[in-house]
Structure formats: C-alpha cells, structure tokens
Amino acid sequence: MEKRTYSSALSEKIGQKVRVLGRLYAVRQMGGISFWVLQDRDGLTQIVFDQKPPEIKAGSIVGLWGSVKEEKRAPGGVEIQGAKVELINAVLEDYPFDLTKKELKLNINTLLDHRPLSLRHETQRDLFRIYASLLEGYRQAMRAERFTEIKTPKVLGAASEGGANFFSVNYFGRRAFLAQSPQFYKQIAVGVYERVFEVGTVFRAEKHFTSRHVNEYVSLDGEMAFIENEQEIMDLLENVLRQMFKFVFQEQKTVLQKNNIGPVLFPKGNFPKVALAELKKIIKEKYQYTVPSDTDIDPGGEKLAGRYAQEVFESDFIFLTKYPVKFRPFYHYADGGQTRSFDLLFRGIEIATGSQRIHQYEQLVASMEKFGLDPADFSFYLEAFRYAMPPHGGWGMGSERLLYKLFNLDSVKEAVLFPRDVKRLEP
C-alpha cells in the first residue's frame, strides 16, 4: 500500500502525488468547484475537486489520492487536486454542532456532554497539544535539576494528609482512600534519592462547584532534600516554570500563534514574594478589598494579588509566604505561629503550594497530635523519620490551572480532557 503523507509534510511534496488519510472536517461548494477539508493528526488540508465528489458527510473517515499544488490561501500553503476518494468509515448522523466554526462557543455542559465530538474541534485539539507540552516541559526541567521521577500509589490505607476531603472506596472489603496527594510517599522517597518528582493524578472530595475547581486533576509534585529554608524551594520552582514555558513556546510556537496566545510575563528579577499578612494590607489599601477573616485568602484576594504583581512587578507570578499554622497541614515546618510555606499565584489564581517540611521525628509526632491525628495511623510514614530524614521541602502544582490561565478559559474544566466535578462522572 502507498505510504501515507501527513499534512505537515505536504509542502515538501509539491508537484507529487500523495496518499492522505484523516477525517472529513468540512465540505464546501463554490460555484462549480467542490472543496473538502481533511483533518489529520498534524492539521488541516484543503482538497479541491473539479468534478462533483462522492456525497460523504463531514466527520467520516476517508482516504484520498491526488497531486499536491501550491496554494497560499489554503491551510499550510498547499492543496491537493484531482483527488480519488476512498470512504473508510461513514458517520451515521450529523454532528450536534458545527465543528468548522473558528470558535465553538458552546456552553460548558454541551461542550463536556459531547466531549468525544467537541475534542475534534481544532482549538480543542490544540489546547491539549499545549497541555502535553506543559507536562513534558515539567519533566525536562525537573530532570535538568537532577530530580528522579517516581510513581506513587493512588489507593491508600489512610487519607493522604489526615484531612476530611477524601474519597473512600471499598478495597476487597476494607476501607481505602483515593490519594489527595503523593505527600507521604514523595517525602519517603526524598530520603532515598534526595530529589524526586511526580506527574500524577490526585483526588479531592471538595464540594466546590466553581470555575476554579475539579475533583480529579494531575498534580506536578517536587520534593528536595538538604535545604536550609523555603526560599531554596521557591527559587527552584521559579526556575522550573521558566524552563517549562520556554520549552512550550519553542515547541508549540505555531499552535500558540494560531490561537493568539501571547507570552507569559516573567519579571526581570525573581518572582515577587510577599508575606500573606502584608499582601492583605496592600490589597485593602490599593484596591479597597478586605479578605474575609476566616480564610487565608479568597478568590477575590487572589485575583487582586495577581493584578498587583502585574502592575507593580510586571509579573504573571507572585509568591505569597508566611502562612499561619492554622491554614496549613501538620507536616509544614513552623516558626512560632507562622509556617515556612508559600502559595504561588499565576495570573490571579493559586497554582502551587509548598513548604519546608518537618524532618525531625519527635517534632512531627507532636504536630500530628496537635492537629488531632493519631500517629499510629501513619506508622509507615513515620518509620522513615525514626531512622533520620534530611531537611527537605517541596511543592504540589495543579497542571490544569496552568493551561486554564494560559488560554484564558472560562473554566478550569475546559482544561481537563474528561473532567470530574461534583456533578459529573461522564463521559
């Protein structure tokens, strides 16, 4: 069988006959000339017929043979003429919406209810190409910093962080929990490899039905040993993000330009760092907004923190530091009433939380008890600390929120291939 040519290689085949395969994306008629648009993994190809082509519905899978001609007005600057058509698999009915529009403009429920079809739209395909590059960029940046990639279990015998926001499942007659984070396991692993990272799924049983939340997401975690303080963690995370976005904008330059995605704003110096209490004062004085007293920072405060970072520091990123103990997990290292921890905001939304961890056994057990936890429930975790752990710390970062803000989407659910929220288990 004749070798297949992808759309991205057609410009190298001008004047030659080729075989192309893909999905019939659009059918158009202009006067006596018929135009098809074929979609393959690399993009779109215009097909021109000077005679009436067979009647095939858009969405069908087809093969075509024809000659490649230069046509600057066509996608990729080329088109295929004189095509012979093979119908490989026909659609059974028309699409429920028009996939040929430049923008789908569907409400979120329609978009997600018909996810198997909406993903075929060019913008949707591009979105998750960029997402794949973000994940690869993270892996490359972490490896460059000599981190070892690990994979941790997602079905656990105890809740990941001792909190309440967990999903419980029946595990062969025993109660088990879906991982809220890889926290315990990456800390154990850092005592072995010193620097570890994971790209893995986590689950949060939070009943938030907002544009900012999903209940299953992919977390970009990192943990590093032999640190002196949380500043080292923030500096490394900043470098990782710079390298991630550099990779994405180089690898996906054409796709980003096609979707009008502009550059990420990085400051000339380091990412700005502002203590949480100080940030609250700033946004109250500068923007006349008061963060509710019963929270660390709310969505309105995060949005204004992002605005402040852009206006004052010319940065899409800002670290908020020195969180009170009451707002942090038991394993965060504390100095008095404050923790050596941080949140990182990107364009006005939290994307990462990190800290220096407690590395001394007695101190960790005391912190557990202070939080009302029974150390006996965490014996496997504490075993690593009984036999000495190095000073260490790390972060967890929500990958989908990076994509959400990069594309300025209406909801983070749009940045998840098949999202799960409090109301959605399908598709």
Q: Binding site residues for ATP, as ranges? A: 204-206, 212-214, 350, 398-401
Q: Which amino acid is at 367?
A: S
Give me the DSSP letters along 388-421: ---SEEEEEEEHHHHHHHHTT-S-GGGGSSS--B
Cα-Cα-Cα-Cα dihedral of 141, 146, 149, 150, to 10°? -140
Maximum Cα–Cα distance across the chain: 83
Annotated binding residues, as ranges?
161, 204-206, 212-214, 350, 353, 357, 398-401
Measured CA angle at 311 (ends 309, 317), to 5 deg: 25
Q: Write the Ramachandran bin of 162: left for phi over 0, alpha for psi from -120 to 50, otherwise beta.
A: left
Measured CA angle at 244 (ends 255, 389), to 5 deg: 155
Beta-carbon contacts of 93 under 8 Å, excluding residues fewer than 6 positions away, are: none
In the block, tokens 């949140």 appear at 343
- Within 10 A of 324 (CB to CB), how many other CB atoms are there? 15
C-alpha to C-alpha distances, 179 to 162, 396, 397, nearest whole angstrom = 11, 13, 15
Question: Which of 353, 347, 354 is CA-nearest to residue 412?
Answer: 347
Helix, strand, coil percent content, the chain, rounded in steps of 5: 35, 30, 35
Q: Which residues pair with 321 in a beta bridge?
A: 275, 342
Helix (H/G/I), strand (E/B), else coil: 8: helix
Annotated binding residues for L-aspartate, as ranges?
161, 204, 353, 357
